[in-house]
Amino acid sequence: MTDEASRAGPWTATVLTLFPEMLPGMLGHSLAGKALAEGRWALEAVDIRAFARDRHGTVDDSPYGGGAGMVMRPDVVSDAIAAHHDPAGGRRLIYPSPRGRVFTQAMARDWADRPGVTLVCGRYEGLDQRVIDAWVEKAAMEEVSLGDFVLSGGEPAAVVMLDAAVRLLPGVMGTADSLNEESFERGLLEYPLYTRPPVWDGRGVPEVLISGHHGRVAAWRRAQAEAITKARRPDLWARYEKEQT
């Protein structure tokens, strides 16, 4: 599915939001923005408020049982999803939420290998649980988190997740080798990088990198990646060690 010729159209991200003007945001710049302009992928920002049931555009209400904040109505949100997501279309249906599984490079690659992705951005206190449950049954909706912190809404998380997926699409980045060497692609954090000048602030480039010996360079980079991962991310290191046995 990663072959562009196998797609019925460009890889498409559909974002359901109360603030469609927040998009494309940073996705309209740099490599993602260039690829968007070239038609390598498409972005559809859908205003959830367009599916409100009254003339006031009401999309939320107070929570049953009391408590602070407001909750997005299940009828409004479900109508928006139904109008823009085909459960049989091969896309993931994602609700960015701090309760979800933590987003990973593997998820980004899975999304990039599909025809696209649909993201439902919550606001206020989030979505009514019934709409989540209903769309888990209809389309395997997933709650996905950026980490152990809370944002004002799902849009910033959606943009970050989309950036991670879009850069994996054919033709967006440079060579495939550059993607393969990045953090998380082989279960390790990336090794240190150096460029000109050869000496800066009294600090030189490691001699091995200017030796011209490709085997030594590769071994050094692997050793550095392993050492950094072991020191900074013991969880990743434990998983990596297990996979090597």
Q: What is the pTM assigned to this prediction?
A: 0.89
Q: Given a cut of 80, is residue 2 above it in pLDDT?
A: no
Q: Are 90 and 65 in contact (CB under 8 A)?
A: no
Q: Scan for tokens 């559909």, then name that residue.
A: 14
User: How far is Cα of residue 206 from the mean position of the Cα atoms in its chain?
Assistant: 34
**pLDDT above 50: residue 145:** yes
Which amino acid is it at 143? E
Task: Please report the pLDDT score of residue 125 as a whole number.
Answer: 95
Q: How far apart are CA 95 and CA 120, in angstroms?
A: 5
**How many residues comprise the chain?**
245
Position 47 pLDDT exceeds 70: yes
Q: What is the mean pLDDT of residues 120-135?
A: 98
Answer yes or no: is pLDDT of 178 > 70. Answer: no
pLDDT at 123 over 80: yes
The pLDDT confidence band at residue 1, using thresholds 50, 70 and 90, is: very low
Query: CB pairs under 8 A, 24+ apart, for 169-177?
Result: 169/11, 169/35, 169/40, 169/41, 169/112, 170/2, 170/3, 170/4, 170/40, 171/4, 171/35, 171/38, 171/40, 172/31, 172/32, 172/35, 172/40, 172/41, 173/31
In this prediction, residue 180 carries a pLDDT of: 59
Task: Assess whether pLDDT exceeds 90 at residue 176.
Answer: no
Mean pLDDT across 105-132: 97
Domains and CATH numbers, the chain: 4-166 (3.40.1280.10), 181-244 (1.10.1270.20)
Q: For residue 175, what pLDDT band results from cuts at 50, 70 and 90?
A: low
pLDDT band at 8 (very low <50, low <70, confident <90, very high): confident
